Amino acid sequence: MNEEEKQVDVIEIKEILDASYGARIGTWLRICSACGLCAESCLFFLSDNKNPRKSPAYKFKNTLGEMYRRKGNVDRDFLIKCSEIVWGECTTCKRCSMYCPFGIDVATMITSARTICQSQGIVPEGLARTLIDYRESGNQMGMSKEDYLDICSWMEEDTAEEILGLTIPIDKEGARLMYTVNPREPMYHPNEIAMAAKIFTVAGEDWTMPSTGWDCTNIAMFAGDRALAGHVVKQMYDKALELGAQKILITECGHAYRSAAFEGPYLAGYRNGKPPVPVVHSVELFYEYLRDGRIKIDPDRRLAEPVTYQDPCNVSRNGGLWREAREIIRFIAKDFRDMSPNRDHNHCCGGGGGYIPMGLEFKERRMRSGRVKADQIRATGAKVIITPCHNCFDQVRDLNNEYDLGVKIVTFKELICEMMVIPDKFSPLEEPDATESNPGEN
């Protein structure tokens, strides 16, 4: 690397530092008393033999703290070192903020440090790629609108054969719920959309899927690109406003909920911090369906095997939906075994905060830091693990292989679809001359 490449735009860094500096960051940076209580809350510290360089306080002091100390006069090498910490050693799960006596919100400071690194083009390759896709296509996987709509109508046709009257309404105005998904679903697991459609139909839901702004994920938020992250989430808000939807429903994805309900309003410029349209997560909705009897579970089909639940950080801790998830489990499983710790205090799986999209380059580290989660899962003795988050799902799947956990990983949708009672009115009509049906299917 020659001298010129080592240059960074110090003026820009100073500007971002100045803009991020508020009473909170100013106070946090000064009052940390170096007590070290945060260390043991962090999975990176625990999984790395209690390496003192992995404690949350060490990480924020040596990244954002150091940037402020040097008043922004940093070089490229320093920022590269920072990037290793802010992306490679933190998933912004916010667990440490609950273990700090002062409630120092380390994740917020790590996010600011990410913004600085990203402003100088220092960002993990896997995340940088999604930024291009978001800009070009509006979603993180670069899926075209046509492909997405094709998948929706394909799933509609397919599933209508099982559930009479099932439709996947696109851009329906004034629906109660606008259902948004993770592009991973239309891209690789279109069946997830079909399953959601089944549940909504049986529950008699008034819902729609939007033709734009359908991607509720926000990898730009984890990449530190605040402007783009705001744009991404605004697309979704604007579409919901345009359609007059009463609520935005988020698929079983953790960070999408954090983005839409909590970080998004600020990123998109809503200064009061509230999304313009209320946001609901699938976990909350499914719980309401079961509670209100809109979906009924066939008791004979309830899971008999031991089941555990992976609380996604962004659903349980950063979304507060840990009660609802356990209520759903009471309906669908006979032998539930909680992990320890659990609920809002659960450990991150190690795949959050952008870690999964960071790709193969980071996989080895992801498996190492995931040891904490693997141990937690093994200790439950569960054979099935439920998690309502795409990143947790992928991480637990990888951990399952890496650590031979022997568990089956499922989502709530999947289980509800397997177990729900489908009233007769949805049974496909018995047609003796089933000319239209495709013998290759079913």
Partner 1 sequence: MSGAKMTLPVRSSLVALLQRESAPWAEDGERVMDPIYELLRGPVLWITFLVFSMGMIVRLAILYRLSKERDGVFYNHVDMKWGLRSIGHWLVPLGTRSLRSQPLFSIATYIFHVCLFAVPLFLLAHSTLWNESFGVSLWSLPDRLADFLTILMIGAATFLFARRLVRSEVRILSAPWDYVLLILAVLPFLTGFLAYHQVGPYRLMLVLHILSGEILLIIIPFTMLGHFILFFFTRAFIGFEMGARRGARPW
Q: Which residues form the interface with partner 1 (CB under 8 A)?
A: 21-24, 26-28, 30-37, 39-41, 45, 50, 52-53, 55, 57-58, 61, 94, 97-105, 262, 266, 271-274, 316-322, 341, 344-345
Q: How far apart are the first and last CA of the chain?
A: 58
57-95 as b/e: b if 16+ CB within 10 A: bbbbbbbbbebbeeebebeeebbebbbebbbbbbbbbbb
* 209 vs 268, beta carbon nearer partner 1: 268
The encoded tokens of residue 299 equal: 């008791």
From residue 370, alpha-carbon distances to 11, 18, 93 in Å are: 38, 35, 13
- DSSP-assigned states of every residue in 285-333: HHHHHHHTTSS-B-GGGSEEEEEEE---IIIIITT--HHHHHHHHHHHE
* 244 vs 341, beta carbon nearer partner 1: 341
* 140 vs 316, beta carbon nearer partner 1: 316
CB of 352 to partner 1, least distance (A): 15
* 273 vs 381, beta carbon nearer partner 1: 273
Spatial separation of the C-alpha atoms in residues 221 and 114, rounded to whole Å: 10
Secondary structure of 167-221 in HEC code, one letter for each residue: CCCECCCCCCEEEEECCHHHHHCCHHHHHHHHHHHHCCCCEEECCCCCECCCHHH
CB of 276 to partner 1, least distance (A): 15
Q: Which one-letter DSSP state was computed for residue 420?
A: B
CB of 100 to partner 1, least distance (A): 7
* 102 vs 403, beta carbon nearer partner 1: 102
CA atoms within 13 A on the CB side of 40: 4
CB of 45 to partner 1, least distance (A): 7
CB of 52 to partner 1, least distance (A): 4
* 201 vs 346, beta carbon nearer partner 1: 346
CB of 53 to partner 1, least distance (A): 7
CB of 101 to partner 1, least distance (A): 6
Spatial separation of the C-alpha atoms in residues 264 and 240, rounded to whole Å: 14
CB of 243 to partner 1, least distance (A): 26
Residue 2 phi/psi, 5-degree rounding, is -85, 175
Spatial separation of the C-alpha atoms in residues 173 and 244, rounded to whole Å: 6
CB of 274 to partner 1, least distance (A): 8
List helix spans (H) across 102-188.
Answer: 106-119, 125-137, 145-160, 184-188
Spatial separation of the C-alpha atoms in residues 199 and 117, rounded to whole Å: 43
Number of H helices, E strands in the chain: 21, 8
Q: Tokens 């693997």 sit at which residue? A: 374
CB of 329 to partner 1, least distance (A): 18
Quick check: bond before 341 cis, omega within 30?
Answer: yes
* 321 vs 389, beta carbon nearer partner 1: 321
* 319 vs 351, beta carbon nearer partner 1: 319
* 142 vs 320, beta carbon nearer partner 1: 320
* 37 vs 149, beta carbon nearer partner 1: 37
